[in-house]
Amino acid sequence: MASNKSLLIQIFAQDTPGLVSAISSCLFELGLSLGDTTFAVLGTGAEFTVVVEEPVPVTVGEIDQRLRELPELEGAEIQVEEFEIEPTHSPQAQITHRIVIRGQDQPGLVARLTEVFQDYGANIVRLNAEREVDARGSTYVLRIAAWMPESRADACIAAVTNTASQLQLFSQWYRA
């Protein structure tokens, strides 16, 4: 039976060229309308997460079966389930600022920097952290997309910059 609720599809697979295309094409062929979607490479694997908006014209079992038939998803972890959370974003999920922080990795770096956002009532909407390796060595790069209350945005940015500086990191920010 088709579903009247939104669905959450989560896939963890080996990262291969064409992975996103294969998954999204399969979901399109099933007549699904994709809502919020994220894709990230994690080591040699990849994570694809999508909210499928209602109405859903096929069953959860049909979606699961079709995904498992894709050669790109051989051995993948696949979950398809009803999405119980409201799929529409709250105002605090609208990105107002983008921050990039670079430097040497160290224990507690993400915790120390993200605490600052909480102190100013800001909401981290997206966070991406990775190690970039080049001829000079490796650099830890943290990218944050955040919503900040307008009245506290300047103070929040100053605090993030100050905290990054204390950790001997370089930071830059942009209004979205």
How high is the pLDDT of residue 79? 98
Give the end of a domain, one of 21, 53, 82: 82
**Using CA atoms, how far apart are residues 156 and 124, in angstroms rounded to an integer?**
12
Asked if residue 120 and residue 55 are part of one domain, the reply reads no
What pLDDT does 3 receive? 62
98 and 62, same structural domain? no
* 67 and 138 co-located in one domain: no
List the end-to-end C-alpha distance of the chain, in Å, as a whole number: 42
Same domain, 95 and 74: no
Residues 65 and 118 in one domain: no
**CB burial of residue 50 (10 Å; 0-12, 13-18, 19+):** buried
Check whether residue 67 and residue 112 sit in a common domain. Answer: no
- Residue ending a domain, among 33, 57, 82, is 82
Q: Which domain holds residue 17?
A: 7-82
Together in a domain, 101 and 170: yes
Instruction: State the total domains in the chain.
Output: 2
Query: What's residue 1's pLDDT?
Result: 54
Identify the domain boundary among 57, 82, 107: 82
Q: Do both 26 and 64 map to the same domain?
A: yes
2 is a domain residue: no
Q: What is the pLDDT along the chain (176 residues), one digit of tens a residue?
A: 566 689 999 999 999 999 999 999 999 999 999 999 999 999 999 999 999 988 889 999 999 999 999 999 999 999 999 988 887 888 999 999 999 999 998 999 999 999 999 999 999 999 999 998 888 888 999 999 999 999 999 999 999 999 999 999 999 999 99
